[in-house]
Structure formats: C-alpha cells, structure tokens
Amino acid sequence: MRKYETIFVIDSLLKSEEIENIISKYERFISANGGIIDVVEQWGKKRLAFEIKKRQYGYYVYIRFDGPPTMIKQLEREYRLNESLLRYKTLLMNKMAIKALTAKKLQTQKKSVEQKTQPPSRNIEKPKKDQADTVEKEKPAEEPVETTQSIENQAEKPSDSETDSPEPEQSAASPDEKTV
C-alpha cells in the first residue's frame, strides 16, 4: 500500500451537518476500499483565492491515508460525482515527505514521554516573571556605579604612575615628535 494525501473543498453554504456527512462519506469510502486513514484534519471555512462556481468561500478538509493505487481512480470519480465539492486533489506522498512525517511523530512522542517523566516539582522552582524583572532591573543599577568607580580609580592611577616613572617626558611624547 502507498501513502496518499487528499484535500477537498466543500461548498461553505451547506449546513454543518451536511458537511460532516460528506466528510464521513469519504472516510467510509476509503476504509471500505482497502484504505487505512492516518489523519483527518478539518481546516474549516476559508476564503478562496478566486471564485469557484460563484463561491468565494469553501470548507477545506485534509485526509492522509494508506491505500492501494486502484482506489485513487475510484475516489476521484466519487469526488467528481458530488456537486457539493468545489475542488479536490489527491497526491502520492514521496519518500522525503514520509520521512519528515515519521521524524515529526517521533519528536512529538519524545516530548510527550519527557513531559510525563518529569516530576511536577520542577515547575514550581521556575522563577516568576515578576521576580525575573526585578533581578534585571537591579543589574543595570549596579553597572553604572562600577563604571564611575573604575573611572575614578583610573584618574588616580596616572597621577601615581607619573611620579613613579623615571622618564615621564618619553611616555608623554608621541612617536612622531622628535625631542631635541
């Protein structure tokens, strides 16, 4: 069996019960013809890029399933016979898309397992936003004090170093200036 995905757009003017009936009809059709449904996503009512059958809105449905290749022709025939469907598309998923899906499933499974294994006490130890804000507010207040103190210390040090250095004229003179 191959992995397929199909998207169809239902007329949005139908009642919600009729829309649900159409979706369940295609789910049953796929299952009855040897398919196994993985995911059914109802994307809901969305504006169409352009008018189709004088409609500006459509109800989008996405179904990912495994099925035999012979079923696709029958499924698309069913789509064509239903006048409530504005558009449909069925695609065979390539190997890269299948790998990406399995990798995504593994990540979500790992995350759910990690969340279940973590003790609930860790959530209590996290700092609240109010506490984090006060810590951040205190840091900038300390830094300017340190910089003013270091400037004062630097101002004092050159006066001490000038008296201690044996030849202050050479250190003060620039290399371009020649002393006579």
**pLDDT of amino acid 107:** 87
- Domains of the chain: which residue ranges? 2-99
Tokens describing residue 71: 């079923």
> What fold, for 2-99?
Alpha-Beta Plaits (3.30.70)
Which residues touch 2 (CB under 8 Å, ≥6 apart)? 66, 67, 68, 69, 92, 93
Q: What is the pTM of this model?
A: 0.59
**pLDDT of amino acid 113:** 79
**pLDDT of amino acid 158:** 52
**pLDDT of amino acid 116:** 75
**pLDDT digit string (tens) for the chain, length 180 residues:** 899 999 999 999 999 999 999 999 999 999 999 999 999 999 999 999 999 999 999 999 999 999 999 999 999 999 999 999 999 999 999 988 888 888 888 888 888 777 777 655 555 555 555 555 544 554 454 444 445 454 555 555 554 444 554 555 554 555 555 555
| DSSP line for the chain | -EEEEEEEEEETTS-HHHHHHHHHHHHHHHHHTT-EEEEEEEEEEEEEEEEETTEEEEEEEEEEEEE-HHHHHHHHHHHHH-TTEEEEEEEEPPHHHHHHHHHHHHHHHHHHHHHHHS-THHHHHSPPHHHHHHHHHHHHHHHHHHHHHHHHHHHHHHHHHHHH-S-HHHHHS-TTSPP-
